[in-house]
Amino acid sequence: MPNAAVVGAGTMGAGIAQTAAQSGWDVVLLDVSTDVTQKAVERILAALDRLAEKGKLSPAQRQAAGRRLRVASGPADLRDCELVIEAVVEDLRIKADTLAPIAAAGPRAILASNTSSLSITRIAREVQARLGGSGDIPRRTVGMHFFNPVPLLPLVEVISGAESDPAVVQRVQQVAQEWGKTPVRARDVPGFIVNRVARGFYLESLRMLDEGVAGLDEIDRTVRGLLGFRMGPFELMDMIGIDVNFAVSCSVWEQLGRPARLTPHALQQQLVEQGRLGRKTRRGFYSYESEPPLPALTTPRRSFELPPKLYEAVRRFSEAALAEPGSITEQYLVSRVLVTVMNEAARLLDEGVADGADIDTAMKLGTNYPRGPIEWAERIGRHTCAALLRAMNERSGDGRFEPAEWLVR
């Protein structure tokens, strides 16, 4: 029976363990104490019960999955595992301290980290450093980035660190498939694919709100209505948690050397400081005290005029991108969001982070985009996208819309 270990049995670890057990793998879980781990196992068993009640698992499948889960009392219990997935708190030192004794106890195990924002290469090197300078830890370490809720969301970003062995990367991809997931491959860069490409969706929307182009509910409505996104940027930030979204923005921006285009927005920071974190605190961009939720942030509307070149570029882009025309304000709004997302995706192509098909799959499965940004840009026409970016760049004056090479080629 193939077996895996999951270290850190919180939200993500429990979801990963459940997924593996449902796929016929034996899973051993390790957390800070056996009490904590036992409670996590009980939560997983309750989740399996709910699936059985809904008829999504047969009683026999439910029993079999439950029997595959075991509680470990220390790293030595993980020594025979083929794959160890680490999902402890997002802290490089804690991750390395946790993985080092496990790597030492199981000298052949693949070490996979579910980190959202830390470098896989650095994690691997830190673990190796704790076990003496040289060894094969960096070769057997990869990123295996699942999405929340793990049992429901199919995407896994498989990340190669600078020294990861291609055979290890291949095996992890295969495991993800065995677990019913869709793996995409990416190099070890800040934010990987999804957390980086998605930044512009939020940031340009925040900037437009701040500039008074439109109200937040209008931006959400237009992005949903004209572009076919399931949720608008503000609804989505409220659902993810404004604190979580802001932390990812800061982390990606810092690690990439603080580029203007990814500068986190002050509005987000203010809401975090006020404890308005979104749905989980019942107040964020919207107030959830009533149904339907009402906008809880009013920003003054300002009239604006597009310079003729930008007006023309917006019109052309919209003509190719939208099924329904919408007003020029709506066109400007959705064009600006969409072309920013496309430009970041194109930058990943320029940097050789991932291929276009994987970028598209990642954005469709990881964040529910109606189309992949690369296939969408091809459909609209790369040069139409680049012309819009250039016109936006002239207006913004900060260079943040500089088109990626791939769009101008």
Site for ligand NAD, rule CB under 6 A: 7-13, 30-32, 36, 87-90, 94, 98, 114-116, 146, 148
**Looking at beta carbons only, is 116 or 141 nearer to ligand NAD?**
116
Nearest in space to 137 (alpha carbons), one of 171, 116, 164: 164
* 211 phi and psi angles, rounded to 5 deg: -75, -10
Helix or strand (DSSP H, E) at 110: strand 110-113
- Site of tokens 């500039």: 211
- Select the residue whose beta carbon is closest to ligand NAD and give its number: 10
- Site of tokens 């095996």: 171
Dump the DSSP string for 58-106. -HHHHHHHHHTEEE-SSGGGGTT-SEEEE---S-HHHHHHHHHHHHHH-
**Looking at beta carbons only, is 39 or 390 nearer to ligand NAD?**
39
Nearest in space to 155 (alpha carbons), one of 125, 114, 190: 114
- Give least dist CB 311 to ligand NAD, A: 40
Task: Indicate the length of the chain as a whole number.
Answer: 409
DSSP-assigned beta bridge partners for residue 86: 7, 113
- Give least dist CB 208 to ligand NAD, A: 26
* 98 phi and psi angles, rounded to 5 deg: -75, -40
- Give least dist CB 40 to ligand NAD, A: 7
Q: Please give the torsion angle defined by the CA atoms of residues 173, 175, 176 and 177, in that order, rounded to the nearest 10 degrees.
A: 90
Nearest in space to 354 (alpha carbons), one of 211, 187, 106, 191: 187
CA 272, 278, 281, 284 torsion-angle sign:
positive
**Looking at beta carbons only, is 116 or 331 nearer to ligand NAD?**
116
C-alpha distances in angstroms, 112 versus 15, 82, 136, 138, 182?
A: 15, 11, 14, 11, 16
- Give least dist CB 217 to ligand NAD, A: 26
Q: Please give the torsion angle defined by the CA atoms of residues 220, 226, 230 and 235, in that order, rounded to the nearest 10 degrees.
A: 0
